[in-house]
Amino acid sequence: MNTWSYHLTVKSNKEINIKDYLSKKLLIPKHLIYSLRKDKRILVNQKYLPMNFNIKNSDKLSLKFQDSDFNLPIQNILPDESRTIPIVYENDDLIVVNKPKGIKTHPNYKFEKGTLLNFIEAYLNQKNQHAYMIHRLDKETSGLIIIGKNPAVVPILIRLIKDKAIKRCYLAWVEGVVTKKRGVINQPIGLDSRDPRKRKINGANAKNALTKYKVITTKNNKSLLALELETGRTHQIRVHLSSIHHPIIGDPLYNSNKYDCRMFLHAWKLKLILPFSMKSISIKNEIK
Catalytic residue numbers, as ranges = 138
CA distance 210 to 191: 16
Measured CA distances, 181 to 27, 187, 212, 215, 223 (Å): 37, 19, 11, 5, 10
Amino acid at 12: S
- C-alpha R_g of the chain: 21
Reduce the DSSP state of residue 48 to 3 states and report it: coil
DSSP state of 86: P
Q: Are 237 and 229 in contact (CB under 8 A)?
A: yes
CA distance 222 to 174: 6
**Total H helices, total E strands in the chain:** 5, 18
- How far is C-alpha 79 from the geometric centre of its chain's CA atoms? 21
Residue in 83, 121, 88, 87 with CA at minimum distance from that of residue 102 = 83
- β-sheet bridge partners, residue 189: 201, 207
Dihedral pair phi/psi, residue 124, rounded to 5°:
-75, -30
Is the sign of the CA dihedral 211, 212, 218, 221 positive or negative?
positive
Q: Are 130 and 75 in contact (CB under 8 A)?
A: yes
Q: Are 157 and 147 in contact (CB under 8 A)?
A: no
Instruction: For residue 273, count other CB atoms closer than 10 A to its CB.
Output: 19
